[in-house]
Amino acid sequence: MQITPQDVLIVIDVQNDFCPGGALAVPGGNAVIPAIHRIAPLFQHILLTQDWHPPDHSSFASAHPGKKPFDTINLAYGAQTLWPDHCTQQTPGAEFHPDLRLPQAELILRKGFRRNIDSYSAFFENDRTTATGLAGYLRERGFTETNGTRIFFAGLAYDYCVGYSALDARRVGLPAVILRDACRAIDLNGSVADIEKQFLQAGVQLIDTADLSA
């Protein structure tokens, strides 16, 4: 697959807390970094997302007495998995992994900063209606399907923030391609199989970084 000047690479949440030793470590999370560095030179446009939670975020199990990480509760917008405290604002866990070096990135989009709602997707909060502003940013910069843009995704975690971001790219009318070997998954209660069914229905493409060319 040949990369064009209109294509955009979005690197999702390659942060310390999602890598080995972090509060919500994705198995092998840091292994995505060499793959991302390998393909980054192919793209003229790179964006980063950063999970950025307040200390008492409603998705944290610690905010709900008697609950533990990976329990599910119902919040105002529906079912919510509870997580260990992670990517708390202004903590080392929220920082990008020190090995990730993408100084050419044009935007860092922070998400999950609203206390009462979680945010997996780079496009929408988990209520599926509150926008992060990313769709508008892309549109104003001329990154549209009409102009030949495709959005490529890499990072963490494949079955949560990467996956939901790709589905929402399709929802706002953008072609979405996930670079599978540049992602790692949590696979909580069959979450990989579940989201891959949604990829099929939505038209999200799955390829490997070796399939890309300049």
Which residues carry out catalysis? 13, 111, 161
Is the sign of the CA dihedral 97, 98, 100, 103 positive or negative?
Answer: positive
Report d(CA 85, CA 64) in Å as an integer.
12
Report d(CA 99, CA 50) in Å as an integer.
15
For residue 22, give both structure tokens: 């972090």
Report d(CA 28, CA 13) in Å as an integer.
14
Q: Cα dist. 150→98, 102, 123, 139, 175 in Å?
A: 28, 20, 15, 12, 5
Report d(CA 165, CA 122) in Å as an integer.
5
Q: Please, where are the H alpha helices in 79-177?
A: 134-140, 163-171
Report d(CA 31, CA 171) in Å as an integer.
29
